[in-house]
Amino acid sequence: MSLSAYIGGLGVLGPGLHNWPQTAAVLSGRQLYVPAPTVLPVPAMLPPAERRRTGRVVKLALALAREATANAGADLLQMPSVFSSSGSDGHICHEICQALATPAREVSPTRFSNSVHNVAAGYWSIATGSLAAANVLCAFDASFVAGLLEALTQVTVDGETVLLVAYDTEYPPPLYAKRPVPDALGVAMVLTPERTPNATRIELTLTDEPHDKMADAQMEALRLAIPAARSLPLLHLLAIGAPGRVILEYLDVSRAAVRIEPCV
């Protein structure tokens, strides 16, 4: 059984990757990759009060979602979404642990509300005013493909355009020793049931074939370091702009075979 849709818009942000056009230039070999810490923009689409409370997870997810939906010209009010991440905000979890280690054990309500796994989806609904359904997933290192499967299933079953946002942020010491995610990275896709101008058809099936790796050593190191970067082989194929097939890392017993075909 296969699932298919059309990619109508993309967003990317990560170390040395500033947006989708620049990422596509790097992945296709048209531009040299220059590693640099991820710079997260201020989420200007949020009201000032909410903007001041946001952590790195929210800043990353909203930046990705905004780029992908702007590129697709999507209707934000009517579009369901899927947010998928391997964990929550590591810095905020660290601050909560620090507070719990003090004699007073007083946890900031703002910090607590920003530590929950669905915080990015909540802030996206505030920013857009959308009441459309939002599913929030966590599948550890398999979270990108789990999110892609969920979004493609929704497109197939409901016949609606769906926003997928997959993202991870870094963990500070001492949490880093147990979860060594070094920086923030994510990808967003607007998936549509019908072909749109400049769209790319995507089809996914599960397989037991070995997963693909990145030929470039720096990109392969990035793919292994950040769970959301498991998307890089697919992004590489999309950057080239030619039909092709790639196997994405997913579970020990199953991988995702993804075929793309640009619409011309």
pLDDT (0 to 100) of residue 53 = 86
Can you give the residue range of the structural domain that contains 156? 3-24+32-196
The answer to the question of residue 156 being in a domain is yes
The answer to the question of residue 188 being in a domain is yes
The answer to the question of residue 155 being in a domain is yes
The answer to the question of residue 80 being in a domain is yes
Q: What's the total number of domains in the chain?
A: 1
Nearest CA to 9 out of 63, 59, 74 is that of 74
The answer to the question of residue 210 being in a domain is no
The answer to the question of residue 231 being in a domain is no
For tokens 């398999």, name the residue. Answer: 142
pLDDT (0 to 100) of residue 264 = 65
User: What radius of gyration, in Å, describes the C-alpha atoms of the chain?
Assistant: 18
List Cβ neighbours of 61 (8 Å cut-off, separation of 6 or more): 83, 85, 120, 123, 124, 165, 167, 186
Residue 261 has a CB neighbour count (10 Å cut-off) of 15
Domain holding 15: CATH number? 3.40.47.10
Beta bridge partners of residue 81, listed in sequence order: 134, 163
One digit per residue, the tens of pLDDT, for the chain of length 264 reads 799 999 999 999 999 999 999 999 999 999 999 999 999 999 999 999 888 889 999 999 999 999 999 999 999 999 999 999 999 898 998 889 988 999 988 888 888 888 899 999 999 999 999 999 999 999 999 999 999 999 999 999 999 999 999 999 999 999 999 999 999 999 999 999 998 888 999 999 999 999 999 999 999 999 999 999 999 999 999 999 999 999 999 999 999 999 999 986
Q: Using CA atoms, how far apart are residues 169 and 122, in angstroms rounded to an integer?
A: 17
**What is the crossing angle of helices 20-27 and 56-72, to 10°?**
90
Q: In the structure encoding, which two tokens stand for residue 52, read together?
A: 């001041």
The answer to the question of residue 241 being in a domain is no
The answer to the question of residue 237 being in a domain is no
